[in-house]
Amino acid sequence: MINLLKKLWRDRRGNALVIAGAALPLVIGSAGFATDTIQWTLWTRQMQRAADSSALAGVYGKLAGQTVTSGTCASSTPISRNQTISNLTTRLGMTPTCTVQSPPTSGAWTAPKFNAVKVTISGSRALPFSGLFMTTAPTITTSATAAMVSSGQYCVRALKKFVGTGLIFQGNPTVNLKCGMHTNAQGGSAIDPNGTPSITASPMAAAGQIASQTGFATGTVFQPFSPQQDDPFATQVSGNPVVPNGCNQSVIQGNQSSVTVTGSSSSSPTTVCYKDLKLTSGQTANFTDAIVLVNAGPLDINGGATLNCTRCTIVMTSSDGTNAGTVTIDGGATVVMTPPTQGTYKDIVIYKDRRTAECNNCNKINGNSSSSITGAIYIPNQEIQFSGNGGISSNCLQIVGSTVTFTGNSSIQNTCAATGPHAFDGSLVRLVS
């Protein structure tokens, strides 16, 4: 018996089986924890995705005028509606908590101008294997912050909110703006470059889609599905023009060939009023430090005529503002315009009363190499159309209309300086943390 035991002690066969059997609980435990860790990771990703989309929904809700306040994610807010869509409870098998900070209480996005929203989602659920070894399930917490961030600078803004085309390019226009364009139009062709345009303008942004990238310069940044932007002059030009009594004469009287009006200073411009501002070939109008009211009649500068408007604004209006006249500048005319540097019409060279009714083909501006327009053409409720065979040179031409059309062989060369009239800042909704 002793010899048998010594022989068995010296026998090495079966040792691997014994070691494997002893290690088997560790192997099974490792596999179990790995499986649970994968499940926790999946839940984390699902909760992070919900936090991301909820924060974005919160900012878009605020931009749409909805109320998003700090606290729990109330069922009436866009954040909770987003949670319902995400169906987190069903997917995770738990009821997570959701809190919101609007705006965030700390960090770089606390200022009201960012419209920032921070969403935090937390939840826990025990898993079969790890639950054998852990007294409490781990808590998974995710958070996301969305905010309005700069999207670039824009010289052209089409304000009309509708399903259609807000920025239209027809024929073969050449547009070189050194800044971007934006339209509030929605739908599949919010920006539509028909014909053979040559467009150097970036970014190109729309609330809807951009029908084609044909004709845009290499490197153009396209931003479809951007937030709709506000009227950049709505606060500045908040009141309505007032037409004085007796405003019933044309700018050119009798045998005159020219008119000159000079105000005392840029801080105290003089105001003059005409029933129309029509110049034919050989006629000249010079306005300096002036606000020029045009009462129901047209602004019509024919070929061969000259309009000099220095630190002045031409205001198209009427007694009740509803039937302001049309704007037509021929390609053969010489037009040199710069805006006031202060006051209600600061940086605006042409303004048409926002109370006037919508119309198409009401405002046509052609240019030539002798024309220079610095400042804003601001016709918020009507289309602005650049057409013809002219080229307008400008230090900074801003175009704000209901819709904006570039057609024919129109050519705009535009550069905005650091001072004076400048491009409008644009914004996008982005996740920032």
Residue 2 inside a domain? The answer is no
289: tokens are 């430090």
pTM (predicted TM-score) = 0.79
Query: Closest Cα partner for 167 from 96, 101, 100, 216?
Result: 216
Number of domains in the chain: 2
User: Residues 192, 311: one domain?
Assistant: yes
153, β-bridge pairs: 425
**What is d(CA 391, CA 412) in angstroms, rounded to the nearest whole number?**
5
* pLDDT (tens digit per residue) in 302-340: 989 999 999 999 999 999 999 999 999 988 889 999 999
* pLDDT (tens digit per residue) in 266-299: 888 999 999 999 999 999 999 999 999 999 999 9
Determine what percent of the chain is predicted with pLDDT higher than 90.
44
77: tokens are 């807010």
**What is d(CA 51, CA 73) in angstroms, rounded to the nearest whole number?**
11
Q: What is the pLDDT of residue 427?
A: 85
Residue 86 φ/ψ, nearest 5 degrees? -65, -25
Q: Is 386 helix (H, G, I), strand (E, B) or coil?
A: strand
The dihedral built from the CA positions of residue 61, 63, 69 and 70, taken in this order, carries a sign that is positive
Q: What is the pLDDT of residue 379?
A: 97
**What is d(CA 192, CA 407) in angstroms, rounded to the nearest whole number?**
12
**Site of tokens 């602005």:** 384
Residue 128 per-residue DSSP state: T
Q: What is the pLDDT of residue 12?
A: 62
* pLDDT (tens digit per residue) in 183-206: 999 999 999 988 888 888 889 999
**What is d(CA 190, CA 168) in angstroms, rounded to the nearest whole number?**
8
User: Residues 230, 279: one domain?
Assistant: yes
Length of the chain as a residue count:
433
Q: Contact, 154 vs 413, CB < 8 A? A: no
User: Residues 231, 158: one domain?
Assistant: yes
Residue 1 inside a domain? The answer is no
User: Residues 355, 367: one domain?
Assistant: yes
**What is d(CA 66, CA 82) in angstroms, rounded to the nearest whole number?**
14
User: Residues 223, 129: one domain?
Assistant: no
Number of other CB atoms surrounding residue 64 within 10 Å: 10
Torsion, Cα of 71, 112, 117, 179 (10° steps): 170
Cα 80 from chain centroid (whole Å): 26
**What is d(CA 78, CA 202) in angstroms, rounded to the nearest whole number?**
32
Tally of CA atoms within 13 A in the half-sphere of 402 that contains its CB: 18
Contacts of 166 (CB under 8 A, 6+ apart): 158, 160, 183, 184, 185, 190, 191, 206, 403, 404
Residue 122 inside a domain? The answer is yes
**What is d(CA 147, CA 118) in angstroms, rounded to the nearest whole number?**
9
User: Residues 294, 393: one domain?
Assistant: yes
User: Residues 200, 98: one domain?
Assistant: no
**What is d(CA 236, CA 424) in angstroms, rounded to the nearest whole number?**
14
Number of other CB atoms surrounding residue 59 within 10 Å: 25
User: Residues 282, 407: one domain?
Assistant: yes
Residue 8 inside a domain? The answer is no
**What is d(CA 303, CA 240) in angstroms, rounded to the nearest whole number?**
32
Q: Show contacts of 388-396: CB within 8 Å, 24+ apart.
A: 388/330, 388/331, 388/364, 389/331, 390/331, 390/366, 391/174, 391/367, 392/365, 392/367, 392/368, 393/367, 393/369, 395/420, 395/421, 396/155, 396/420, 396/421, 396/422, 396/423
Residue 11 inside a domain? The answer is no
174, β-bridge pairs: 198, 411
**What is d(CA 412, CA 393) in angstroms, rounded to the nearest whole number?**
6
| Average predicted confidence (pLDDT) for the chain | 85
Residue 432 inside a domain? The answer is no
User: Residues 36, 173: one domain?
Assistant: no
**What is d(CA 261, CA 342) in angstroms, rounded to the nearest whole number?**
19
Give the helix/strand (H/E) hosting 84. Answer: helix 78-86
Beta strands in 159-269 (DSSP E): 167-169, 174-176, 180-183, 191-193, 198-200, 204-206, 222-223, 258-262
User: Residues 124, 210: one domain?
Assistant: no
User: Residues 222, 301: one domain?
Assistant: yes
Q: What is the pLDDT of residue 262?
A: 93
**What is d(CA 314, CA 375) in angstroms, rounded to the nearest whole number?**
12
Q: Contact, 124 vs 142, CB < 8 A? A: no
User: Residues 158, 131: one domain?
Assistant: no
Q: What is the pLDDT of residue 132?
A: 62
Residue 250 per-residue DSSP state: B
Task: For residue 319, give its domain range.
Answer: 151-416
49: tokens are 């995705």
Residue 89 inside a domain? The answer is yes
Interhelix angle 78-86/15-63, rounded to 10 degrees, is 140
Query: Closest Cα partner for 226 from 433, 429, 432?
Result: 429
Residue 117 inside a domain? The answer is yes
286: tokens are 């010079």
293: tokens are 């009211």
Q: What is the pLDDT of residue 130?
A: 67
Q: Per-block average pLDDT, block size 10, for the chain (433 residues)?
A: 66 59 55 71 85 89 84 78 66 80 91 91 78 74 91 90 93 82 95 87 93 91 91 92 92 90 89 95 95 95 94 95 92 90 94 92 82 91 82 80 86 65 81 90
- Which of 121, 148, 175 is the C-terminal boundary of a domain? 148
